[in-house]
Structure 1
Amino acid sequence: MAPHSTLRGSDLLIAVDGGNSKTDVRLVRLDGTEVRRAVGGPFRPQALGVPAAMAVLAGLVRELLAPGDVAGPVRGIAAFLAGADLPEEVETLRTEIEARGWAKEVYVANDTFAVLYAGAGSDRRAGVAVVCGTGINCVAVAPDGRMATYPALGAESGDWGGGGDLGRAALWWAIRAEDGRGPATSLVEAVTSHFGRPRVLDVVLAMHRGEESDRRAAELAPAVFAAAEAGDEVAGLLIDVLGDEIAGMASAAARRLGLEAPAVLIGGSVAAAGHVRLLTRVRERAPGPVTVVTEAPAVGAVRYAAGRWGDAAAREYCDV
């Protein structure tokens, strides 16, 4: 006979937020109450490959199950994942998760939906969500369930925004200021200080030679906001462009569904950091009232899982 402390898998759910910066996995009961959680590295199948991304997720699930007190597969796993942008990518990741046998049922969607569910509560089927963290993406959901999404493949699919693009733009303007092609900007000092090199050119050459990762450019985002707040015109321009991109994605998605004045939920490390100039710009141009989602995206994954497979109270709350 199983010990009294054993948890039945059929009474449990796994909720996953797999993002570009970290992966947050939670084991919860059917009403959404947390049993334990595990947080690890980024989930980046588009850059590192599906096997590497799945290795991150598998390690965290093993950590959740390591106490050995869960009997059998859990009732369901809801995984909201970066890199699940196209239907074939969603199917590949769903198949990979199903093959592990962690859960009786598996649901996979893009991680942007987790922000929508985390911020909208019981009205989560209607609204627009924009995630602006390392990158940028947007989804919209109409009351009748219709959805508007973007390929979110980067520059080639028309995307600009997030810490990565903001940092690369800062580097672009800084090198031009240094060599005289562009206006003076304090971003020169921000770049050289961040990378610990005497010139912006040295930073650029180090990236070209593989001595510096261009992904470190995303780390410049806080410096861009600080420069804008201090009155730097170039930095201020970049913040305004980012605000326009966030509002523009939300507006276009809302138009595609015919939504009028929808709730606009914005999340991600950059958008939710509370920068006044950025939020003011977004609110001035967004298609509806803007709410900054401060709940972790994994909370949205929990709400979805509890609403899809949970008890009656959770289903009523999550409107599934």
Structure 2
Amino acid sequence: MTTRRPAVLAIDGGNSKADVALLAADGTVLGAVRGPTISHQAVPLPEATSRLRMLIDQVRIAAGAEASAPRISVACLAGADYPEDLRLLRGMFREAANGGDVLILNDTFAALRGGASRPWGIALICGQGINGAAVAVDGRRVRFAGVGDIAGDWGGGASVGMAGLAAAVRGRDGRGPRTALERTIPAAVGLRRPDAMTHAYYAGHLDEERVRDLAPVVFATAADGDAVARSIVDRLADELIVMAAALARRTSLVRRDPEVVLAGGVFKTNEPGFHARLRAGVTAAIPAARIVRLGSPPVLGAALLGLDALAPSGAAPARVADRARADLDAWSATARVEMPS
């Protein structure tokens, strides 16, 4: 069992799970654990705090570092949106981490740092929802609120799925153009007509989450040549392009060569038209941009942010970053969510 002193406690906390890792200063992962969500928006704060403490205890035991505090703790969290969130979370994490500096950021920044080869760049997040973040060369951080319609957000799997159902209903009842979605959307839930879906939803027999999971059906229907489905997919690509362009302007990256990190389940689609439109639009707005996919667990981003903070240059050396990436990729390949004991 190793007794090397941990340098970084890295935490990525989403709405469904949390990853916690301890790393040495050379990037070696001393221990890592995956547990249930610690989001204060998903579970009551006392429960979130209790889960966090237990996960940190578990990872310290795994690392053989039960009594040793890290030099810095970095937590990238869903729900770290506004100053009041950050104040609440900073206190919660400072107590649980048992010493050292604490940095709390929105989880979009973990995706950015985990996918980029440098501390600066742009991230586009497209899972169930949509968001974006960027870090300027001088370290300034910007992002969107990412809290839904009230903040002008449209996009992500949920928006695409709901738009697909709406288009199917409107095509069927005459308010919109006819579309193959009238057939493919209800078929995905074992029904024959769009109006049967709305009836099932109204009666409580069809869960809203099932409707929000229909994005792959919309992408597949677009790939088969349906114009209405294509318009939905194009709208999503265009929204992501607008986000990337806005982030680049706000961080003075338009004339530089930023990596644009794509993170989230929607980007796993193989629909070629979506990716072609997105790539063309991003490079039109940011000519030297390089689009990359996030292939590592987001907790890597939290780890690299901590290692960056400890580096005299402000950026973890490549060999340190590469070791952290390799270790966390290997761990994540077999990690499962476990309730703390």
Question: Could you tell which deviates more after superposition, 28-37 or 138-147?
Answer: 28-37
Is the alpha carbon distance of 1:190 and 1:20 closer, same or farther for their aligned partners in structure 2, counting shifts above 3 Å? farther
Pairwise mapping of residues 82-101 of structure 1 onto structure 2 (< 5 A)?
82-101=78-97
Counterpart amino acid of residue 214 in structure 1: E
**Counterpart position of 1:158:** 152
Q: How far, CA to CA, are the matches of 1:146 and 1:65 in structure 2?
A: 32
How far does the alpha carbon of each residue in 1:62-106 deviate from its partner, in whole angstroms, 9 at most, with x for none?
A: 543454832225313211111112222222222222222455332
C-alpha contact (below 8 Å) 1:130/1:246 kept by paired residues: yes
What percentage of aligned pairs have identical amino acids?
35
Q: How far, CA to CA, are the matches of 1:224 and 1:303 in structure 2?
A: 36
Question: Could you tell which deviates more after superposition, 243-252 or 163-172?
Answer: 163-172
2:201 counterpart (207, 226, 237): 207
Is the alpha carbon distance of 1:196 and 1:51 closer, same or farther for their aligned partners in structure 2, counting shifts above 3 Å? farther
**Counterpart position of 1:294:** 294
Pairwise mapping of residues 6-85 of structure 1 onto structure 2 (< 5 A)?
7=3, 10-20=5-15, 22-42=17-37, 44-46=39-41, 50=45, 57-58=52-53, 60-65=55-60, 67=62, 69-75=64-70, 76-85=72-81
Counterpart amino acid of residue 154 in structure 1: G
C-alpha contact (below 8 Å) 2:134/2:247 kept by paired residues: yes
1:116 counterpart (86, 97, 112): 112
Question: Could you tell which deviates more after superposition, 73-82 or 94-103?
Answer: 94-103
- The Cα RMSD (Å) is 3.0
Is the alpha carbon distance of 1:12 and 1:147 closer, same or farther for their aligned partners in structure 2, counting shifts above 3 Å? closer
Is the alpha carbon distance of 1:295 and 1:43 closer, same or farther for their aligned partners in structure 2, counting shifts above 3 Å? farther
Q: How far, CA to CA, are the matches of 1:108 and 1:157 in structure 2?
A: 22
Question: Could you tell which deviates more after superposition, 160-169 or 296-305?
Answer: 296-305
**Counterpart position of 1:308:** 309
C-alpha contact (below 8 Å) 2:49/2:96 kept by paired residues: no
Residue segments in structure 2 that go unaligned for 5+ positions in a row: 322-341
Residue segments in structure 1 that go unaligned for 5+ positions in a row: none
Cα offset, 1:267, TM superposition: 1.7
Question: Could you tell which deviates more after superposition, 36-45 or 267-276?
Answer: 36-45
Pairwise mapping of residues 260-275 of structure 1 onto structure 2 (< 5 A)?
260-262=254-256, 263=258, 264-275=260-271
Is the alpha carbon distance of 1:311 and 1:258 closer, same or farther for their aligned partners in structure 2, counting shifts above 3 Å? closer
SS of 1:184's partner is coil
Instruction: Say yes or no: does 1:225 pair with 2:226.
Output: no
Q: How far, CA to CA, are the matches of 2:40 and 2:182 in structure 1?
A: 33
2:129 counterpart (135, 142, 148): 135
The alignment of Structure 1 onto Structure 2 pairs a total of residues equal to: 312
Q: How far, CA to CA, are the matches of 2:200 and 2:50 in structure 1?
A: 31
TM-score by length of 1: 0.84
Is the alpha carbon distance of 1:211 and 1:55 closer, same or farther for their aligned partners in structure 2, counting shifts above 3 Å? farther
Q: How far, CA to CA, are the matches of 2:222 and 2:38 in structure 1?
A: 31
